[in-house]
A and B are shown apart, each in its own frame.
Chain A
């Protein structure tokens, strides 16, 4: 029943993304329409895959850090990716293929730095140190990003800010291709980690005695979740709140066991971002809002509600 409901939401979000837009395309002409084929369809797919990956990354990081507030942004990954992209724009390397690669490099740099700082306490990754390291690295990346932006000229500045705020307006079959190449491996790693992540919620020592190889599990999940977030930022800029809010919402419906939770978070995140992007395209047509603003407008109140539930229960 729950799965059927979620499936219907996904289909509705997808249909809405394809059918709705500033240009009216009659239902009968959907398949033949160039607008649908070259613009709306890849964009809907991109929104779905990015939203799903962000939500999945957040769900994995929350279990890993054993902190319900963990998500790719809190851990500095998205900030690093943003810095990489902005640096590429400032260096005039912003070709459609170079930008994702630069963002990707930035995210990996931030991941490595956060991971290294997380090991400061000794041989074991400390989840609390990790999240502090993430906040520090994120703040540092934001400072450098702002410095670069304030030194660049006006036209670049506008593009950079639009990109940073999360835009799917650059969607094309090429960017869908980038996702299709990068996503399968980290997705498979995270889905395969569902059961041991249930154990990890008890703490490392109990998880170990129940049969989880804790050190390797933490490494795998951290790298896979980082990769997901990095690829998302690379193709669509910084989109907040999906990684934080969607896993929470799905927990209230599916509980905390990761085998149902992870796929539900992926579908829910995809539907939310596809829906948000439709709103972003339609709300102020013919102009368009960055989708990151829409997810923030939806996400902050939802998060406030969840936080209240969490603290009062």
Chain B
């Protein structure tokens, strides 16, 4: 693995229109995602994780700093070009019209199709590969609404893989999953970095799973970086307590820090 730099976000700041002075959603945040590595973005609700994703991918223009994808400024990519390099599993999506699994994964090929042309055999092959990779090939002909939460997330991941991206971005992919499906998804994401050489940015508030599966973590607090580096360096007791505003104990497990929230005394 050459660990090529895919996403390079440097020192970005962003303030939503209408927000007051000093109410920056992001201030001085940097993030680098490399091929074959998983980079977790951690932080409490409202700490700027999703805003960072939007700035990194050129949906929002930062006030200062900048984001480059494969060396080119994010704003210089068309959405179509970018979709061939970056696959995103967003936090939520709508299902306005009923769809089957294979159909929705085929939407991942949009950026690679010509305006009028039909799907080519290579598109169908990419869809099948993506379904297989996420272990949902057997669900290909099912309706989306019949899937369980875990199956649905893996189908959405398969759609992002059908884009054949270099960078995979996941925004809270395990938000409402139980332990088994959560672990399955994190292991799959880890394997996509290790075996397929994808750069992965994983946005989550799941500190412990991030600590176990990520190579590096970026901890955000109120839009500001509270630490960046290997999980063992960033997730100290002091930092975690300050960022999440709750007393914790840190216990090592398989060489990674695990955060155990403490009970506050009721006196």
Contact = CB atoms under 8 A, between A and B. Distances in A.
Contact of B99 (A195, A211, A256): A256
Contact of B78 (A66, A209, A213, A214): A213
Given A192-B115, A199-B110, A209 B88 contact: yes
Interface string A147-165: 0000000000000000000
Nearest to B171: A205
Contacts of B82: 211
Contact of A210 (B59, B99, B107): B107
Contacts of A203: 90, 92-94
Contacts of B159: 210
Interface string A249-274: 00100001100000000000000000
Contacts of B163: 210-211
A108 B82 CA distance: 35
Contacts of A256: 96-99
Nearest to A259: B118
A291 B92 CA distance: 44
26 contacts: A123-B17, A192-B116, A198-B110, A201-B95, A201-B96, A202-B94, A203-B90, A203-B93, A203-B94, A205-B59, A206-B88, A206-B93, A209-B88, A210-B107, A210-B108, A210-B110, A210-B111, A211-B80, A211-B82, A211-B83, A211-B84, A211-B163, A213-B80, A256-B96, A256-B97, A257-B103
A190 to B, nearest CB: 13
A208 interface: yes
Q: Considering residues A66, A123, A196, A211, which has the most beta carbons from chain B within 10 angstroms of its beta carbon?
A: A211
B97 A209 contact: no
A5 interface: no
Interface of A: 66, 68, 122-123, 192, 195-196, 198-199, 201-203, 205-206, 208-214, 251, 256-257
B110 A201 contact: no
Contact of B110 (A123, A192, A196, A214): A196
Given A206-B90, A209-B88, A211-B82, A195 B97 contact: no
B155 to A, nearest CB: 12
B7 to A, nearest CB: 14
Contacts of A208: 59, 79
A122 B17 CA distance: 9
A205 B90 contact: yes
Contacts of B111: 210-211
Nearest to B86: A209
A132 to B, nearest CB: 19
A123 B111 CA distance: 26
Interface in B70-85: 78-80, 82-84
A234 B111 CA distance: 38
B115 to A, nearest CB: 6
B70 to A, nearest CB: 16
Nearest to A215: B79
A202 to B, nearest CB: 5
A292 to B, nearest CB: 29
